[in-house]
Structures are given as C-alpha cells and as structure tokens.
Amino acid sequence: MKKICFVGIIAAVVIVTIFSGCMKNETGVLVLQITDAFGDLNITHANVTISHVQVHKNVEGVNNTTAYWFTVVNESQTFDLIEIMDVKEFLGRAELDIGIYTQIRLNIDSCVITVNGTEYMCRLPTESIKLVKQFELTTSETTTLTLDFDVNESVMQKGVYEFIFQPVIIVI
C-alpha cells in the first residue's frame, strides 16, 4: 500500500513538472512616445539624442536591483522637441512580462539648441533621467505612455553663450 501511494506521489510530481514547463510567461506590450508642449522661448530647434530607455518592474519583497530593469529602446534617436510640439513621435516598443512597473529610465546623450540662428551644445548635468511613474502591463493589451518634455522648463541659460539642459518630463 505504501509503495502504491509513493508511486502515485512521484507520478503527480512528474506530471506537474511537465505541465509547468509548458506554460509561457504572459506578456503585454509597452509603446513609448515623445512630445513637447508648446513653448514661448526663442529656441527654433532643440535636438535631443536619446540612446537608451529602460523600465523597472516592481517585484514584491525584492529590493530595487538591476535585475528588474528591462530595455525598451537600445539605439540612439534624435528628436527636435520644437518640431514635435503637440505631436506624438514614436520612441520605442517592447513586449514585456505583465505586471506593475514603477519607473522609466532614459539616457540623454546630447542636446543641441538653436537660438536666433546660432547652435549651442547644452551642458547635461546628468545623462540618466529616472522618471517615477507606476503603470501596469496586462495580458495581450498595449499600454501607451507619452514622455512630454517641457522645453521652457528644461533649457536654462547661464551667461551669454552657455545653456543647460535639465529635462522636465511628465509621463502621460
């Protein structure tokens, strides 16, 4: 009798292991867009180069580690924030595990602005921008987030010929 019970338990464990190996992780789609609100500065171009975008997945009971950052964009793209005012421009798309995500991190490589016909390379206080925004990816659905830059608040003039680009971004 004990032998039959033991064989039954072993068979159940084998069956559960086989079926759990066949199950796939459920995924959802994240689409990122970029835009800029209307501004009144005398800037005719604000070319911003973004090279890398990641999102952070919240995992219950686990500290914030690099293991839970997922790449959405891994190639340099340049956007003229003045040209895309009130227009949504595609930034990236990724199929990711479903769940709650809490942050977006983007690397900005450069910002070149044109003021009164003259180009200026902006100084970047930091290349990595972390945006805290909770969003959820659900099965077979597309979640679209827009990174809305505010050029008026992001570009600061220091002296006559020096500009600093410290991005002010709202995630909508």
22-34 residue pLDDT tens: 445 799 999 999 9
Q: Which two tokens stand for residue 82?
A: 């003045």
pLDDT of residue 114: 95
C-alpha separations of 148 from 4, 95, 103, 118, 137 in Å: 65, 22, 15, 25, 20
* Mean pLDDT confidence for 48-54: 98
What residues does each domain of the chain span? 26-171
The string of pLDDT tens digits covering residues 110-146 is 999 999 899 999 999 998 999 999 999 999 899 999 9
What whole-number distance in Å separates Cα of residue 46 and Cα of residue 43? 7
SS3 55: strand
Which burial class, exposed, middle or buried, applies to 143 when counting CB atoms under 10 A from its CB (0-12, 13-18, 19+)?
A: middle
Q: Give the single-character DSSP code of 10.
A: H
